[in-house]
């Protein structure tokens, strides 16, 4: 269709003229009337409308008189996009009468229990009623009754009498989270929100529904009856439990954090949070917090004053050969503390054996040396997302929600190169499941196919579709994991390895690869991380190198640990200095600011543990690290810790390594107890603010570093987080945009630090996919959102989420063992053996054996051979 209007008479296409209450306003094309009016000072009341979800027009509260040229009528402004010359009355008598009517209808069955309702004081329904509602009720009938609050999950309670059926929570579960576990049930005036009997609302995102409920129908256990809104103080901050850097508001009362809410940061989390981000503060309030320093004497830890603790620590550092000092950890710290510790370790002490990642990450050049993408760039409609990493739903909850939105609502193409099904597989355009160790080869094959599309690719699509039709989702999936099938998702055949073989065999897998390659379009973002902890990073590195050859490709890091990207930017990695530079290239910049820089590139965590095992580490500093539980090779961790000399731990909560091995514990203040900034996986820096005083006599991490430096005879030269930032921006070009002014101006969005600095792109690691002989299955070890992490152990609201140790197998492999589901079987690798129950899981490809990384009280690591590219296992009946 061509536009027949003469170009010169067309109005400015970037704005739409709307007359609201007699005043002309400029609206954006396509904008909803309710939003346009609000931006222009004419707030229209609403309950169901939520700017991050599709409009439903359910509550009818936002009715206004609208005249689009055909006479005025009442229309829900949350549904009506603005159009030129629309005339709108938000205050007219007709509008008021309609809105009052709706409010009265909402109230007739709503209980009058505001005084005991958690929402009291911050309730839109209450506010509306005060502002506009009728003085007294004309409704003299008995109100509708439901059983009082019912728990719909471990964390969330539902009071159906208070519910006004706005469809926000149910829409969230469906549209945003994709966990359709709550739903409208029944009809008409009996309609209610509920779960399926015995299937709780066990979503990692359930807390969001509490936040968006416009009344007190949904409440979260950690906050129920704890406080009233008018008692709360709040500050904007950043969630610290993973690397998404979701923006949050932390609310406290009487010096205790009581609630965390998501903030709608447009480039980041859109107001959503994973429950882990939302409820993690509980751990900080836990009884077992480390509230004062401790030292070990005669094998027992004793609480001491700071003086004693520092003395012990400094004694273990003073005069020690820097090459015999090492630091593990640091992702827990804020940026300022990370810089302080980097300066202490590398500049003052002079060691380069510093690593914030515990064998579960990627080398700095992979994270920092490739073109980087923002979340927004990854989520562009018309672009392609290649997921080559962990399941974002498990590891990076808020990112999962953004990616899901991009695919479902904005039409981004998603291609998964993951070793098993993820939370996004059901919406992925293509799911290719490489076996552990082989993702590099698969990525190379995909890139080759994209460069040279196969002209013989047959139009088998429709035949497949016909064939697929009429099968249950489970059937379809089962068949997809059958190598003979050419379904949507494909997985490798159990015998044989290498993609060439499979391609030559002309199997469905090769065809699937062709189709995936053909569907790559628009800018490509690779979401890159470690998908299994029982394979080495090499295959992932090779995949990254291969995928970087795609046109217009950039990378979004999917490393999981809290502020790990801040740690890399601060130089907490071997061979690295602050500001995305290397010892080799950047040392000169630190000549004035630092007492010195290490001469040689140091060990990573595995290297440090090996050195410690060999008796080469006299002093080991743990910056919020728990190697005994958190390093993939449990045996090496044990031996390394045993061989280390003095162990100094800087931590918030007791973990196994700290309690068993630390000689000195320096009690650190938590993320809500010290001020600073956080760097997320995009390189975005945002404020992580203090709202309560530090627990006990614990101190901020940066102060601990500064004090140790002084006692070592070297002043770090700063006395506040702001001063640290000031120094950082002088030694690091990357950090130059990070001025106090910029931070103030972008309270919500944060400051994006662009560029690769001096970091060169990675070289191929040349991982070779080994042939498995004696053992028939490849071990897949993946994280869950809730594993046996220290924080979870101390968070009552979330502990119900923890999974248990079990083996999951594809039905094809399961059938070979010949046991019932739930039977305990033996899993044996070259390294060790474990007994655990077995379950069927169609999401696990044929030939793989999936076990969760650490669960409450159980640990799969005895099986993992960290020195091998992959770990193979054999499964036997007992």
Partner 1 sequence: MSFFTSANLDIAREIVSRYPAPRSALIPLLHLAQEQHGWVTGDAMRQIADLCGVTPAEVKGTGSFYEMFKFHPVGSYLINVCTNISCMLLGGEELLDHARQRLGVKTGGTTDDGMFTLEDVECIAACTEAPCLQVNYRYRLRVTNDDFDEMIDDIQAGRVDDLPRHGTLARVRQRIPADRLAGILPPDKAREAPVWLQRNNAAEDSVVG
Partner 2 sequence: MATNGYVAHAPGYVDNEGPKIVSERFSHPDSFTLARFEATGGYEGLRAALAKRPADVHDEVRSATVLGRGGAGFPAGVKWGFLPPGRFPYYLVVNGDESEPGTYKDRLLMERDPHQLIEGCLIACYALGLSQCFLYVRGEMALAQERIATALNEAYDAGYVGRNILDTDFSVDVVLTWGAGAYIVGEETALIESLEGNRGMPRLKPPYFPAAIGLYGQPTIVNNVETLANLGWLMVNGAEQYKGYGSEASPGTRLFAVSGHVRRPGVYEVEHGVTTFRELIYGENFCQGIREGRELKMFIPGGGSAPWFFEEHLDLALEAGPVGAAGSMLGSGAVVVMDDTTDAVKATLRVVRFFARESCGKCTPCREGTTWEERILQRILDGEGRHSDIDMLLDIGDNISPGPYPVAANPQEGLDAVPFPPKQTTICPLGPSSVAPIVSTIRRFRHEYEAKITRRDSIPVRTEVLQ
* Contact residues: partner 2, CB under 8 A: 55-61, 63, 73-74, 76, 79, 94, 97-98, 100-102, 104-106, 108-109, 138-142, 144-145, 164-165, 184, 187-191
437, interface contact from ligand FES, partner 2, partner 1, none, CB < 5-8 Å by kind: none
Q: Which one of residues 108, 150, 460, 474 is an interface residue with partner 1 (CB under 8 A)?
A: 474
774, interface contact from ligand FES, partner 1, partner 2, none, CB < 5-8 Å by kind: none
Rounded to the nearest whole angstrom, what is the least distance from the CB of residue 157 to partner 1 in the complex? 17
Rounded to the nearest whole angstrom, what is the least distance from the CB of residue 24 to ligand FES in the complex? 23
In terms of phi and psi (left: phi > 0; alpha: psi -120 to 50; beta: otherwise), the region of 610 is alpha
Q: Which one of residues 88, 182, 608, 834 is an interface residue with partner 1 (CB under 8 A)?
A: 182
- 473 binds partner 1 per the rule CB under 8 A: yes
Nearest to 514 by CA among 457, 440, 451: 457
Rounded to the nearest whole angstrom, what is the least distance from the CB of residue 292 to partner 1 in the complex? 48
Q: Which one of residues 197, 299, 319, 818 is an interface residue with partner 1 (CB under 8 A)?
A: 197
User: What b/e string do you get for 347-381 counting C-beta neighbours within 10 Å, with b at 16 or more?
Assistant: bbbbbbbbbbbbbbbbbbbbbbbbebbbbeebbbe
Rounded to the nearest whole angstrom, what is the least distance from the CB of residue 12 to partner 2 in the complex? 25
Q: CB under 6 A: which stretch of 60-68, 210-218, 403-411, 451-459 binds ligand FES?
A: 60-68
Residue 564: CB atoms within 10 A of its CB come to 28
- 60 binds ligand FES per the rule CB under 6 A: yes
- 821 binds partner 1 per the rule CB under 8 A: no
What does the alpha-carbon distance between residue 274 and residue 287 come to, in Å, rounded to a whole number? 24
Nearer to ligand FES, 46 or 276 (CB): 46
- 478 binds ligand FES per the rule CB under 6 A: no
Q: Coil, strand, or helix at residue 673? A: coil
Q: Which one of residues 470, 506, 818, 857 is an interface residue with partner 1 (CB under 8 A)?
A: 470
- 405 binds ligand FES per the rule CB under 6 A: no
CA distances from 360 to 78, 355, 399, 855 (A): 46, 11, 19, 17
Sign of CA dihedral 866, 872, 875, 878: negative
Q: Which one of residues 462, 506, 588, 773 is an interface residue with partner 1 (CB under 8 A)?
A: 462
First to last CA, the chain: 71
- 62 binds ligand FES per the rule CB under 6 A: yes
Rounded to the nearest whole angstrom, what is the least distance from the CB of residue 90 to ligand FES in the complex? 13
46, interface contact from partner 2, ligand FES, partner 1, none, CB < 5-8 Å by kind: ligand FES
Which pair of structure tokens corresponds to residue 854?
């650490």
62, interface contact from partner 1, ligand FES, partner 2, none, CB < 5-8 Å by kind: ligand FES
Residue 250 phi, psi dihedral angles, 5° rounding: -100, 125
- 822 binds partner 1 per the rule CB under 8 A: no
Nearer to ligand FES, 76 or 419 (CB): 76
Q: Where are the beta strands (DSSP E) in 389-456?
A: 413-417, 430-432
106, interface contact from partner 2, ligand FES, partner 1, none, CB < 5-8 Å by kind: partner 2
What does the alpha-carbon distance between residue 802 and residue 874 come to, in Å, rounded to a whole number? 26
Nearest to 628 by CA among 604, 603, 594, 662: 662
Residue 638 phi, psi dihedral angles, 5° rounding: -60, -50
Residue 211 phi, psi dihedral angles, 5° rounding: -65, -35
The strand order across the sheet containing 218-220 reads 150-151, 156-158, 218-220
Rounded to the nearest whole angstrom, what is the least distance from the CB of residue 462 to partner 1 in the complex? 5
Place of tokens 């059983």: 147
Rounded to the nearest whole angstrom, what is the least distance from the CB of residue 759 to partner 1 in the complex? 42
Residue 81: CB atoms within 10 A of its CB come to 16
Place of tokens 């940061």: 265
Q: Which one of residues 70, 254, 469, 588 is an interface residue with partner 1 (CB under 8 A)?
A: 469
- 1 binds partner 1 per the rule CB under 8 A: no
What does the alpha-carbon distance between residue 829 and residue 754 come to, in Å, rounded to a whole number? 44
What does the alpha-carbon distance between residue 685 and residue 707 come to, in Å, rounded to a whole number? 26
User: Residue 481 contacts by C-beta under 8 Å, 6 or more apart in sequence?
Assistant: 489, 491, 810, 811, 812, 842, 844, 845, 846
Nearer to ligand FES, 78 or 559 (CB): 78
- 49 binds ligand FES per the rule CB under 6 A: yes
Q: Which one of residues 43, 132, 139, 184 is an interface residue with partner 1 (CB under 8 A)?
A: 184
Q: Coil, strand, or helix at residue 873? A: strand
189, interface contact from ligand FES, partner 1, partner 2, none, CB < 5-8 Å by kind: partner 2
Rounded to the nearest whole angstrom, what is the least distance from the CB of residue 61 to partner 2 in the complex? 7
Place of tokens 């009996």: 190
What does the alpha-carbon distance between residue 838 and residue 840 come to, in Å, rounded to a whole number? 7
105, interface contact from partner 2, ligand FES, partner 1, none, CB < 5-8 Å by kind: partner 2
User: Residue 140 contacts by C-beta under 8 Å, 6 or more apart in sequence?
Assistant: none
Nearer to partner 1, 191 or 693 (CB): 191
Q: How many chain residues interact with partner 1 (CB under 8 A)? A: 25
Rounded to the nearest whole angstrom, what is the least distance from the CB of residue 402 to ligand FES in the complex? 24
Residue 125: CB atoms within 10 A of its CB come to 25
- 47 binds ligand FES per the rule CB under 6 A: yes
Rounded to the nearest whole angstrom, what is the least distance from the CB of residue 380 to partner 1 in the complex? 21
User: Residue 445 contacts by C-beta under 8 Å, 6 or more apart in sequence?
Assistant: 499, 500, 503, 513
Nearer to partner 2, 80 or 537 (CB): 80
Sign of CA dihedral 224, 229, 233, 235: positive
The answer to whether 208 and 273 have CB atoms below 8 angstroms apart is: yes
Q: CB under 6 A: which stretch of 46-54, 383-391, 721-729, 770-778 binds ligand FES?
A: 46-54
Rounded to the nearest whole angstrom, what is the least distance from the CB of residue 180 to partner 1 in the complex? 5
The answer to whether 84 and 11 have CB atoms below 8 angstroms apart is: yes
Rounded to the nearest whole angstrom, what is the least distance from the CB of residue 718 to partner 1 in the complex? 53
- 57 binds ligand FES per the rule CB under 6 A: yes
Q: Which one of residues 18, 36, 42, 58 is an interface residue with ligand FES (CB under 6 A)?
A: 58
- 80 binds ligand FES per the rule CB under 6 A: no
Q: CB under 8 A: which stretch of 298-306, 324-332, 467-475, 628-636 binds partner 1?
A: 467-475
Place of tokens 């490809």: 845
- 293 binds ligand FES per the rule CB under 6 A: no
* Contact set with partner 1 (CB under 8 A): 179-187, 194-199, 461-462, 465-466, 469-474
* Contact set with ligand FES (CB under 6 A): 46-49, 57-62, 76, 78
């Amino acid at each position: 269709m061509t536009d027949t209007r003469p170009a010169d008479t067309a109005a400015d296409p970037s704005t739409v003229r709307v007359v609201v209450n007699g005043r002309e306003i400029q609206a954006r094309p396509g904008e909803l009337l309710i939003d346009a009016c609000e931006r222009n000072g004419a707030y229209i009341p609403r309950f169901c409308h939520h700017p991050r979800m599709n409009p439903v027009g359910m509550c009818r509260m936002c009715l206004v008189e609208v005249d689009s040229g055909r006479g005025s009528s009442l229309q829900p402004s949350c549904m009506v996009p603005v159009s030129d010359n629309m005339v709108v009355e938000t205050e007219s008598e007709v509008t008021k009468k309609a809105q009052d009517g709706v409010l009265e209808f909402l109230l007739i069955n709503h209980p009058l229990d505001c005084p005991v309702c958690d929402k009291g004081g911050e309730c839109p329904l209450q506010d509306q009623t005060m502002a506009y509602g009728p003085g007294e009720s004309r409704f003299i009938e008995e109100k509708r009754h439901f059983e009082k609050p019912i728990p719909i999950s471990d964390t969330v309670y539902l009071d159906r009498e208070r519910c006004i059926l706005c469809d926000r929570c149910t829409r969230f579960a469906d549209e945003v989270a994709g966990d359709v576990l709550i739903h409208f049930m029944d009809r008409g005036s009996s309609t209610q929100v509920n779960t399926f009997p015995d299937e709780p609302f066990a979503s990692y995102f359930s807390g969001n529904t509490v936040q968006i409920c416009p009344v007190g129908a949904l409440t979260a256990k950690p906050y129920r009856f704890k406080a009233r809104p008018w008692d709360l103080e709040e500050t904007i901050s950043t969630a610290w439990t993973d690397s998404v850097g979701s923006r949050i508001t932390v609310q406290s009362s009487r010096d205790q954090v009581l609630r965390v809410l998501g903030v709608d940061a447009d480039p980041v989390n859109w107001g959503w949070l994973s429950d882990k981000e939302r409820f993690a503060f509980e751990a900080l309030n836990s009884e077992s917090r480390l509230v004062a320093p401790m030292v070990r004497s005669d094998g027992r830890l004793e609480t001491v004053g700071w003086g004693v603790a520092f003395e012990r620590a400094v004694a273990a550092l003073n005069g020690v050969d820097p090459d015999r000092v090492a630091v593990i950890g640091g992702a827990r710290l804020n940026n300022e503390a990370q810089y302080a510790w980097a300066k202490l370790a590398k500049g003052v002490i002079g060691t380069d054996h510093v690593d914030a990642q515990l064998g579960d990450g990627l080398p700095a050049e992979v994270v920092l040396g490739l073109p980087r993408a923002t979340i927004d760039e990854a989520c562009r409609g018309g672009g392609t997302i290649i997921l080559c990493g962990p399941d974002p739903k498990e590891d990076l909850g808020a990112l999962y929600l953004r990616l899901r939105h991009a695919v479902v609502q904005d039409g981004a193409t998603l291609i998964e190169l993951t070793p098993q099904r993820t939370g996004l597989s059901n919406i992925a355009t293509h799911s290719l499941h490489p076996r552990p160790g082989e993702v590099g080869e698969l990525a190379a094959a995909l890139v080759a196919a994209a460069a040279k599309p196969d002209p013989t690719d047959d139009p088998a699509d429709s035949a497949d579709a016909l064939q697929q039709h009429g099968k249950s989702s489970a059937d379809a999936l089962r068949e997809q994991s059958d190598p003979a099938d050419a379904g949507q998702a494909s997985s490798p055949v159990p015998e044989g390895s290498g993609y060439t073989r499979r391609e030559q065999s002309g199997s469905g897998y090769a065809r699937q690869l062709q189709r995936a390659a053909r569907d790559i379009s628009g800018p490509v973002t690779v979401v890159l991380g470690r998908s299994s902890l029982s394979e080495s990073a090499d295959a992932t590195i090779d995949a990254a190198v291969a995928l970087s050859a795609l046109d217009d490709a950039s990378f979004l890091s999917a490393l999981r640990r809290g502020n790990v990207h801040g740690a890399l930017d601060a130089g907490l990695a071997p061979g690295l200095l602050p500001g995305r530079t290397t010892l080799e290239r950047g040392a000169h910049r630190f000549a004035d600011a630092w007492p010195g820089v290490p001469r040689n590139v140091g060990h990573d965590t595995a290297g440090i543990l090996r050195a410690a095992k060999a008796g080469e580490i006299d002093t080991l500093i743990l910056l919020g690290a728990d190697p005994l539980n958190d390093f993939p090779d449990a045996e090496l961790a044990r031996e390394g810790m045993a061989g280390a000399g003095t162990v100094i731990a800087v931590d918030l909560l007791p973990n196994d390594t700290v309690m068993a091995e630390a000689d000195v514990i320096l009690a650190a203040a938590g993320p809500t107890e010290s001020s600073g900034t956080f760097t997320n996986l995009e390189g975005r820096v945002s404020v992580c603010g203090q709202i309560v005083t530090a627990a006990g006599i614990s101190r901020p991490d940066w102060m601990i570093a500064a004090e140790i430096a002084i006692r070592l005879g070297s002043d770090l030269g700063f006395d506040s987080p702001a001063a640290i930032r000031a120094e950082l921006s002088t030694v690091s070009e990357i950090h130059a945009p990070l001025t106090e002014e910029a931070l103030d101006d972008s309270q919500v969005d944060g400051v994006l630090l662009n560029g690769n600095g001096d970091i060169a792109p990675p070289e191929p690691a040349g991982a070779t996919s080994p042939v498995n002989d004696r053992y028939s299955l490849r071990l897949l070890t993946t994280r869950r959102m809730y594993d046996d992490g220290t924080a979870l152990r101390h968070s009552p609201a979330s502990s119900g989420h923890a999974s248990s140790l079990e083996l999951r197998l594809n039905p094809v492999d399961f059938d070979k063992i010949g046991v019932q589901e739930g039977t305990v079987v033996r899993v044996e690798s070259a390294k060790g053996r474990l007994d655990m129950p077995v379950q069927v899981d169609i999401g696990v490809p044929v030939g793989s054996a999936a076990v969760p990384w650490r669960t409450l009280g159980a640990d799969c690591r005895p099986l993992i051979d960290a020195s091998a590219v992959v770990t193979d296992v054999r499964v036997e009946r007992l």
